[in-house]
Amino acid sequence: MLVVWLFLVLPLLWLVAFRYRRRRMYALASKITGGKEELPFIGITHKFTGTTEDIMSSLKELSYTAMENDGMIRGWLGHILYFLALDPVDLEVVLKTCLEKDDLHRFLRKIIGYGAIFAPVSIWRPRRKILVPAFSPKIVDSFVPVFAEQKTAFGVNINAQDDEKSPFLVELNNILQLACERIFHLWLQPDWLYKFFPQYRRHKQSLRILHGFTNDVIMKKRDELKAAQRLEAKHEFDLSDYSNKTFLDLLIHFSGGEKGYSNMELREEILTLTIAATDTSATAVGYTLKMMAKYPHIQEKVLEELDDVFGDSDRLFEKEDLLRLKYLERVIKETLRLFPPVPFIIRKVDEEITLPSGRVLPAGSGVVVSIWGTHRNPKYWGPDAEKFDPDRFLLERFNLKHPCAFIPFSSGPRNCIGYQYALMSIKTALSSILRYNRVVGDTEACATPQIRVKLDVMMKAVDGYEVALERRRLPKCKA
């Protein structure tokens, strides 16, 4: 009888103690409006039980609810408290002070390890110092011809243009989808339980292929550098060296050569930059091409500008062209506003923080920064916030009420270090395609573009960016 009594009382005592320790969290959470359909005990967990398209739909719905509630709502995922925020004034403080990534990033770390973007602050700080010189303007500019020739900045050929079923690309997409499902499906989170689901076997297979590919690239690069005796101690690179370096070369050099990053650390940074830089840029290119098909009158302006800059020549894209393609840049920025590749950022609140809005976020909670919602907030973008209008980025019209109202590359100390690299690669890729081709497809009668999207860590089009190209002129024959 005593044993039965203990089984009944002890859990109850533990629950009382658990809630008592968190009483401050519950008190502060109660002052902020909860999401619609919030249920006892599970909160809004039931809204994230579907596919990654369903997950994205739920997050969009929550973002609209936050707009209706002065830029913030709360939501419980079981016992874990999150706030979804999208007001730029509050976001500036969150992104400057809450530097630690949320615990949910542990599922991404199982894929890429401690690459600088997703790493804890203690690892992120020294690694970012290594990355900063690698993304200096002079080095970034040196990659223009690399992009123009459709190579990769890592010096790795994954045959993406000719083989859409490249194992590396296929498994990268697969594992990002699996990671997103695990982040939002609570029953997939415990490691011991995950092993009983079919996703676990697919995850292991994808990880084996991704790690095997990058390990092979690193070993070949190590051998190449040793053979060429390029690991001699240097204090700096001459500018003439940049055009011959890949990012992998730079990572090895700036980390200290043979005494710097280990092969595992190099793999972590390669995979991180592939996901956070290369994949996001490709996603932005895909959305922009979709916009070209939907709005032919906008595409024609882009084509006219390209013809003015390049004429009928077949010369490669040069860095001086970046400043001349002003309308294309506005189209890209407007696409990034409505379809940011990274629509949500999750930060951990380590210490209680009071925001400019007066809201107080308790320690131990998390903040979901809705970039998607921020970019569509009528309070900052006007009543036509949902409409695709590149000219809103004209100098005479672009007058943000707050700098964090447009943050496709995040903001604060942990912003995207490669944003210049990303914009350059996007603009170069699009100009290379549109100089010779016109995008055709279903046009959009409404100024508000409709694209089915899913959340596979990045926000991606469900149809895989299906567009058709119509040749508008042929390249000149080379003698």
Domains, in order of start, for the chain:
37-471 (1.10.630.10)
Strand (E) or helix (H) holding 175: helix 167-184
- Comparison of pLDDT for 164 and 84, the residue scoring more: 84
How far is the C-alpha of 80 from the C-alpha of 62, rounded, in Å? 17
**Nearest Cα residue to 75 out of 381, 403, 365:** 365
Query: What are the C-alpha distances in Å from 121 to residues 108, 126, 256, 269, 365?
Result: 16, 9, 21, 15, 17
Token duo for residue 286: 């895909």
- Is 395 buried (19+), middle (13-18) or exposed (0-12) by CB count in 10 A? exposed
Q: In the prediction, which pLDDT does 239 show?
A: 41
How far is the C-alpha of 209 from the C-alpha of 220, rounded, in Å? 17
**Nearest Cα residue to 155 out of 243, 53, 23, 67:** 243
Q: In the prediction, which pLDDT does 178 show?
A: 93
Q: Give backbone dihedrals phi and psi of 344, rounded to 5 degrees, phi first.
A: -140, 140
Token duo for residue 59: 């997050």
**pLDDT tens sequence across 70-114:** 999 999 998 899 999 999 999 999 999 999 999 988 998 888 888
Q: How confident is the model at residue 230 (pLDDT cuts 50, 70, 90)?
A: very low
For residue 118, what are the contacts with CB-CB under 8 A and spacing of at least 6?
101, 105, 108, 109, 112, 272
262 contacts 108 by C-beta, under 8 angstroms: no
CA angle 114, 119, 122 (to 5 degrees): 110
User: In the predicted model, what is the mean pLDDT of the chain?
Assistant: 87
**Nearest Cα residue to 428 out of 330, 342, 333, 325:** 325
**Nearest Cα residue to 103 out of 437, 346, 375, 311:** 346
How far is the C-alpha of 248 from the C-alpha of 250, rounded, in Å? 5
pLDDT at 240 over 60: no
Token duo for residue 58: 């739920």
pTM over 0.85: yes
Q: How confident is the model at residue 318 (pLDDT cuts 50, 70, 90)?
A: confident
**pLDDT tens sequence across 434-444:** 999 999 988 99
The radius of gyration computed from the CA coordinates of the chain, to the nearest angstrom, equals 24
Helix (H, G, I), strand (E, B) or coil at 318: coil
- Comparison of pLDDT for 410 and 41, the residue scoring more: 410
377 contacts 86 by C-beta, under 8 angstroms: yes
Q: In the prediction, which pLDDT does 17 show?
A: 84
How far is the C-alpha of 385 from the C-alpha of 380, rounded, in Å? 8
Strand (E) or helix (H) holding 72: strand 72-77
Token duo for residue 110: 């199982």
pLDDT at 163 over 90: no
